Amino acid sequence: MSHTRASVLVVLGIFGLGFGLAASAVAIAPQKSSDVFQISGLVLANCRGFRVILDATIQVDTTTFFDESGNAVAISVHVQWRGTATNSKTGDALVDKANYIISSDLTEGTTAFLGVVYRWVIEGYGIVVLDAGKLVFTADGVVFDSTPEVENGNEYCEAFRVLAAA
């Protein structure tokens, strides 16, 4: 998972992270909330001769699950990310569209990211940036990772080089 996207999610993480556990019939009903955030002008990468600038709208739908005593036991966050990554020099832009779930089992202390975090496509060329899969971690670190390696922003710069040549 990209460090930039993860950093943005830490800020959004105020809502909590979670996974819906099976609830008993006497458990308190889940609590749901929705919020929309705007990101404008975030420098995603510093490339040779240009910057990749990100603008996005993020829809965050959060569900908190409780046990029979009213204690939160899990939180599930569905993130719908709709944005544009722009080359600061040329104005060329790529659509940044993602859908993923962040889930946390509060009793076990595990958090998981599952889904598509980044997906940039150049028409006629194909996918040029993809960050998708499953990442599970605890306070002690990562316990499972099927996501691709991210090269500190190099893949974002390269995507715009490919776009310029397409």
Distance CA(113)–CA(95), nearest Å, equals: 21
pLDDT for the residue 21? 40
> Please, are residues 138 and 109 in contact by the beta-carbon 8 Å criterion?
yes
Query: What is the rounded distance in angstroms from the CA atom of residue 17 to the CA atom of residue 77?
Result: 6
- Rounded to 10 degrees, what is the CA torsion of 11, 14, 18, 21? -170
HSE-CB at 41 with a 13 A cutoff on CA atoms is 0
Q: What is the pTM of this model?
A: 0.76
Looking at residue 64, what is its pLDDT?
A: 97
Q: pLDDT tens, position by position, for the chain (166 residues)?
A: 554 454 444 434 434 443 334 444 566 899 999 999 999 999 999 999 999 999 999 999 999 999 989 999 999 999 999 999 999 999 999 999 999 999 999 999 999 999 998 888 888 888 888 889 999 999 999 999 998 876 666 888 999 988 888 7
For the chain, what are the domain ranges?
3-165
pLDDT, position 131: 85
- What pLDDT, on the 0 to 100 scale, is given for residue 166? 77
Contact 56, 44 (CB under 8 A): no
